[in-house]
Amino acid sequence: EAQAAGKLRMRERLSQAGVRRRDSLKVTRDRAANENSKVQEVSFIQTLTAESLAAELQAQLGDLDNRIQQARARKRSKLADIQASQRKRATKAAAQLSAAEMQREVEAEARWNRLQNRLTEVEERRRRREEVLARRVLTSERQQLAAERRSTEERRKRERTDAGVQRRRAAQERRSNALGSGGRRSERGSPRMLALKDSEVEPTSSEISGDTGTSDVAPEKTPQGSSQPRPATAKKFKEIHNRRGGGAASDWEDLKPAGDRLRTDSDAARKLEAEANPSRKKRIRKMKTQLRGVGDAWAASDDYRIARSGALERLAKMPALTAAVAALAAAPAPAPALGSSPSKSKPRAKPRQQQKQQQQQQQEGQQQQEKQ
């Protein structure tokens, strides 16, 4: 009975387990069906979404295509308008071409006339500057010549005066020596009388200059510090000496060799002075070099080239003026200026720069004539 009861309980348990198993399978099948339905619903929704998106994209693509076609049409219309305006502008420009060319020619001619006027003014200013420089150089040369002439005359007067004084003193020394050798030491040969005679013989600056007032030239100082009288010629010194009661004319004849030696020494002194100080020729050469440098700088400037080309063109247009310039060039040289020695006037050689400029001007003039 216990086994039978156990078997019954086992059967009941097995039957309950079978029921539970069938219930669990059913629940599982229901869940699977539910999940499948959800999946199908989702897939259906996705299918609807893709179709709607494709339709929307297709609509957008059609709209974009329509806009592209409209833009192309607008571009074609604008190009047509631009071509029409260009054709109108070309027609108008062709109609106004002759008037515009005439206006440009008139403006170019006005500019050329203004340029020629400016070149003429530049040439006139250059000519005036050259004239002023030439006048200044001539004035300075004349002043230097006058100063050199005055200094030379003063130096010669001083030398002649010194020579006369030395001759007279030598004569007095000879007389005093003759008196001393004769043994007659009288009052005439005393040192006091000799000193008085020396003071009487030496002329003052006022007597040499010819007036009794104060001299305008102070006595010159020698290197030893002794003062010398104002320079005067030997003739005037001799007249003063005779007026004061000097010796005979034979004394002057006796002192000629000494005067010749003194003159030779003075010539040597003049040569040394000329070597120590710049001579007139050097100063004139320096000024000419400076003026030549100014002329070369002007010849190398653009204004000079423009003025030269304009002048050549004007000369080529005016044959009469060209003939006049050639006649002036063939005319003889002017007479030398006052104060210049004709024996020393030599034809000046033209600088190399001026020769080159003249050659260039001649070549340009020939080219202009050939072009005309």
CA 28 from centre of chain: 114
pLDDT category at 132 given cuts 50, 70, 90 is confident
Q: Which residues contact 347 (CB under 8 A, 6 or more apart)?
A: 333
pLDDT category at 239 given cuts 50, 70, 90 is low
Residue 203: closest CA among 242, 176, 250: 242
CA atoms within 13 A on the CB side of 153: 6
Structure tokens at 226: 């002794």
Whether residue 331 is predicted with pLDDT greater than 70 in this model: the reply is no
Whether residue 47 is predicted with pLDDT greater than 60 in this model: the reply is yes
Q: Which residues contact 134 (CB under 8 A, 6 or more apart)?
A: none
Lowest mean pLDDT among 141-150, 224-233, 298-307: 224-233
Structure tokens at 103: 């206006």
Kindly state the average pLDDT of the residues 99-115.
Answer: 86
Kindly state the average pLDDT of the residues 233-250.
Answer: 52
Please, where are the H alpha helices in the chain? 2-181, 191-201, 205-209, 234-243, 249-254, 256-276, 280-299, 302-317, 319-330, 352-371
Mean pLDDT score of the chain: 70
Whether residue 339 is predicted with pLDDT greater than 50 in this model: the reply is no
Domain boundaries, the chain: 282-328
Residue 221's φ and ψ, nearest 5 degrees, are: -95, 130
According to the model, what pLDDT value does residue 193 have?
43
Kindly state the average pLDDT of the residues 82-105.
Answer: 84
CB 228 within 8 A of CB 158: yes
Whether residue 135 is predicted with pLDDT greater than 60 in this model: the reply is yes
Structure tokens at 191: 């040192």
In this prediction the pTM is 0.23
